Amino acid sequence: MMGEKGVLKCFLNASSGADIAVVEGVMGLFDGISGKDDFSSTAHVAKVLNAPVILVIDAGKAARSIAAIATGFLHFDKKLRIIGTIINNVAGDKHANFIIEAFADKVKVPIIGIVERNKTITMMERHLGLIPTPELEEKQKRAIFQSAKFVSEQLDLDKIKNLLDMVQRTGPLLPKHLPDGQIKIAVAIDESFNFYYVDNLEALREQKAELIFFSPINDCKLPENIHGVILGGGFPEVMANKLEKNQSMKKSISKVAEKGTPIYGECGGLMYLTRSIRGYKGDEQKKRNMVGLIDADTFIGGKLTLNYTEASSNASIFGKISKVRGHEFHYSRIENIAKDSKFAYVMRRGYGIDNKKDGFMVYNCLASYMHLHFADSRLPKRFIANCIKFTRK
């Protein structure tokens, strides 16, 4: 999505001033866009960053075999620097000793943590993963701190630090540039909309935009004197009853849309802009009325759509771009789509909204399932240019 330069810029900006940066891997170490190579995997990112890897292995159903798994990872790609392992989900001291004995003869990197099995630190999940922070109650927040304490006490933090001190540091830091705002962008942030790449928000600020955060659930209307609106990803289906009841906010969004204000919605934002949402937790009949800007409805089903995406942008906020890369991740689908609907994207990879088409275009609004990363500098520049054009009308 970002390209290697985008990964480097993101990392350097985010880790400015830090002694140690922790990069969380996703899926298996070598799992990327295909089975042919490691492109877009955690291993690929580690090599781009020249970063060492600490391998976490689930030992829940094995003992000596864990040493064989670690050995396989160590030899699978010699360009990768695996400097230590954390053994997770260990039953107790006997189980741990079996693994330690197996590692002593076969594995050339140290064990830097053994985390025992503990059902009390299990995190709550739902259809798209962990519960977002804004929804957590105080009891759940305390549980996270207790879990962190439990895990940290079973890691050898001094050994981790010593291993990292021996690693060559990545190159010079890029300067942060956050100029004063001239263009005001309203960005939805609350329990229902909270999936954003921080880099995207920073990229908008670099284009001299001022970001004004608002809540479609709790605020009665959009902020005043804005030049654009962003409705990010999230869980509008979970909070659909509250979103439905906030009639004044829905009217406020429709009003600015009709004036031609640029509005950009991704996934959850797309769903909120349709006529209705139904189907969450099996309630297929009850419809919750949404903004209704898009002449279609949202249904929450049981089938997961998960892809890296690539599309051609033909019009709307971003104009014509031959390659727009992102990802899609949702259980919903858009139904009852008006026959005269217009779409901005033709999908080369991924499914989109309907039959390889994505990005509803209504007024000066673009709403898609595809999540984008603004490491592609054309995207924030063109969005802001569209906002500037709107202000001059």
Measured between alpha carbons, how far is residue 59 from residues 69, 70, 149, 170 in Å?
Answer: 10, 11, 21, 32
CA-wise closest residue to 266 among 239, 240, 229, 297: 229
SS3 16: coil
Instruction: Give the 3-state secondary structure of 351-368.
Output: CCCECCEEEEEECCEEEE
Beta bridge partners of 326: 309, 372
267 is a catalytic site residue: yes
Measured between alpha carbons, how far is residue 222 from residues 89, 257, 274, 387 in Å?
Answer: 47, 11, 18, 16
CA-wise closest residue to 377 among 171, 207, 180: 207
Beta bridge partners of 276: 289
- Give the Cα separation of 230 and 269 in Å (integer): 8
Beta bridge partners of 367: 265, 360
* Torsion angle, alpha carbons of 26, 29, 35, 36, to 10: 120
Catalytic residue among 10, 220, 267, 387: 267
- Give the Cα separation of 53 and 356 in Å (integer): 37
- Give the Cα separation of 27 and 7 in Å (integer): 18
Instruction: Report which residue type is found at 27.
Output: M
Measured between alpha carbons, how far is residue 376 from residues 3, 102, 322, 382 in Å?
Answer: 8, 47, 12, 11
**Segment (H or E) for 150:** helix 138-152
What residues act catalytically?
A: 267
